[in-house]
């Protein structure tokens, strides 16, 4: 980790980064750097490949280096809860931190994954009053289920290990918990896959026959861009949404948090223009491998 003098929270020169392990294929630096260029920010974005056993020491350096913001990815999202000065209530409820922002020299942990998922879904449909199914029961599922309930959807959680789905619904609320195969019995209008099934493989977590016409499907898996689940959705008359959008919107929300402290802060219209800019940077980084 480089050592840089802590800058004031309103300085447009900033040092940000992402902590994860392994760090081989993250597209976050490309996305954030493209946004910095568009907003004329003199910020840089560093990748910190940190093993779980080294996370605590890494956070001590983050403090000393004056990092403005640190994105937190796999496998550190839960451990980070114990390493910041303050955890926002939503992140506490979800049980995962994906963003650490320096506010008044305190490290504040928050979660923007749920906002990313909601905004991605809202590209295709409204959420209030809809019947939604979340596939999976890990940290990503918790964020998505939280968000959908927050927006007023009726949420069913289905998972390979049914007991984990039940535990999620017990803790966060929801209409039912079950197995992945139970999708066929639910009149779902929105489906979100948060399992890792389909990641760099031609496999879907659910049978294509269970995907009804008009179903809006967000796949949090973004590699390949069109997963088996999204291809099946398209073939059955549904509306697929790539995981890229979830990533882009959660990243914009991260950016909003630290740039809100700038004087002047970016305007809403400026942040809106970042959607396409960051999506393009994501695509470009994918092509570059």
Task: Assess whether 77 carries a catalytic annotation.
Answer: yes
Catalytic one of 4, 77, 130, 244: 77
- Is residue 250 close enough to count as binding ligand ATR by CB under 6 A? no
Residues 170-199: x where in contact with ligand ATR by CB under 6 A, - otherwise, as a string: ------------------------xxxx--
List 71, 84, 140, 168, residue binding ligand ATR (CB under 6 A): 140
The residue assigned the tokens 């550190």 is 76
User: Could you say whether residue 164 binds ligand ATR (CB under 6 A)?
Assistant: yes
Nearest CA to 103 out of 19, 11, 9 is that of 9
Q: How far is the CB of 78 from ligand ATR (least distance, A)?
A: 8
Least distance between ligand ATR and beta carbon 13 (Å) = 33
Other Cβ atoms less than 10 A from the Cβ of 70: the count is: 27
Q: Which stretch binds ligand ATR (CB under 6 A): 79-87, 155-163, 206-214, 222-230?
A: 155-163
With tokens 């939604």, the residue in question is 132
From the list 111, 113, 109, the residue with the least C-alpha distance to 81 is: 109
Query: How big is the site for ligand ATR, counted in residues (CB under 6 A)?
Result: 15
Give all strands of the β-sheet with 239-241 in edge-to-edge order: 176-178, 154-158, 131-135, 190-193, 216-219, 239-241
The 194-223 site mask, x for binding ligand ATR (CB under 6 A), equals xxxx-------x------------------
Q: Where are the alpha helices (DSSP H) in 195-267?
A: 228-235, 243-259
CA-to-CA separations, 116 to 40, 103, 112, 215, in angstroms, rounded: 24, 22, 6, 19
240 touches ligand ATR by CB under 6 A: no
Looking at the Cβ atoms of 9 and 243, the one nearer to ligand ATR is 243
Binding piece for ligand ATR, criterion CB under 6 A, among 41-49, 97-105, 160-168, 261-269: 160-168
CB crowding 164-198: b at 16 or more within 10 Å, else e: bbbebbeebebebbbebebbeebebbbbbbbbebb
Letters for 44-83 (x = contact with ligand ATR by CB under 6 A, - = none) are ----------------------------------------
Nearer to ligand ATR, 138 or 242 (CB): 138
Given a contact cutoff of 8 angstroms between Cβ atoms, the answer to whether 186 and 215 are in contact is no
Our finding on whether 97 is near ligand ATR (CB under 6 A) is no
Residue 7's contacts (CB-CB under 8 Å, 6 or more residues apart) are 13, 14, 15, 66, 68
What is the rounded CA–CA span in Å between residue 204 and residue 18? 29
Nearer to ligand ATR among residue 159 and residue 250 (C-beta): 159
**Separation CA 160–CA 183 (nearest Å):** 12
Residue 98 interacts with ligand ATR (CB under 6 A): yes or no:
no
Binding site for ligand ATR (CB under 6 A): 136-141, 159-161, 164, 194-197, 205
Active site amino acids: 77
């Amino acid at each position: 980790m480089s050592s840089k003098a802590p800058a004031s929270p309103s300085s447009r020169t900033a040092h940000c980064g992402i902590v994860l392990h392994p760090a081989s294929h993250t597209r976050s630096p490309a996305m954030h750097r493209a946004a910095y260029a568009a907003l004329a920010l003199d910020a840089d974005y560093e990748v910190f490949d940190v093993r779980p056993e080294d996370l605590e020491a890494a956070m001590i350096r983050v403090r000393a280096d004056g990092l403005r913001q640190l994105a937190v990815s796999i496998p550190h999202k839960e451990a980070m809860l114990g390493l910041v000065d303050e955890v926002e209530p939503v992140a506490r409820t979800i049980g995962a931190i994906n963003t650490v922002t320096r506010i008044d020299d305190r490290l504040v942990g928050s979660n923007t994954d749920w906002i990313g998922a909601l905004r991605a879904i809202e590209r295709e449909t409204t959420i209030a009053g809809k019947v939604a199914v979340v596939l999976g029961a890990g940290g990503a599922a918790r964020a998505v289920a939280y968000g959908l309930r927050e927006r007023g959807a009726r949420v069913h959680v289905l998972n390979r290990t049914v007991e984990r789905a039940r535990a999620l619904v017990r803790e966060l609320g929801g209409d039912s918990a079950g197995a992945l195969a139970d999708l066929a019995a639910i009149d779902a209008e929105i489906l979100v896959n948060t399992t890792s099934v389909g990641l760099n493989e031609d496999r879907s977590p659910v049978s294509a026959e269970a995907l009804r016409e008009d179903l809006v499907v967000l796949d949090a898996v973004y590699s390949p861009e069109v997963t088996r689940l999204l291809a099946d959705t398209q073939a059955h008359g549904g509306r697929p949404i790539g995981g890229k959008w979830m990533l882009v919107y959660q990243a914009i929300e991260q950016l909003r948090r630290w740039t809100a402290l700038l004087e002047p802060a970016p305007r809403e219209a400026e942040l809106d223009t970042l959607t396409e800019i960051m999506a393009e940077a994501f695509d470009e980084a994918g092509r570059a491998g």
